[in-house]
Amino acid sequence: MMPNHPPAIDLRLYATLAPLAPPNADRFPIETGMTIGQLLEKTAIPLAEAKLVFVNGIKAQLSTQLHGGERVGIFPPVGGG
């Protein structure tokens, strides 16, 4: 019998958010059905700092549900100058 692994995502944080990445970001455990908003709470990433979120390369909302196996990219607000 195969061990029962919790669902996990590949979490990628960019630019100023990169230092907040957990050590296990490439296999970050989630609960099936967890939303992006709940993921931000769990990882202590400030909501105001998560300006753009992509799931498998597609722009996602805070209400987007995760099921495991996704690649999630989170970008901070982009400053210009």
In this predicted model, which residue has the larger pLDDT, 4 or 81? 4
Asked if the model's pLDDT at residue 2 lies above 60, the reply is: no
81 in helix, strand or coil? coil
Asked if the model's pLDDT at residue 80 lies above 70, the reply is: no
Report the phi/psi class of residue 45: left, alpha or beta, with left for phi > 0 and alpha for psi in -120 to 50. Answer: beta
47-76 mean pLDDT: 97
pLDDT band at 5 (very low <50, low <70, confident <90, very high): confident
In this predicted model, which residue has the larger pLDDT, 2 or 61? 61
9-34 mean pLDDT: 97
Global pTM?
0.90
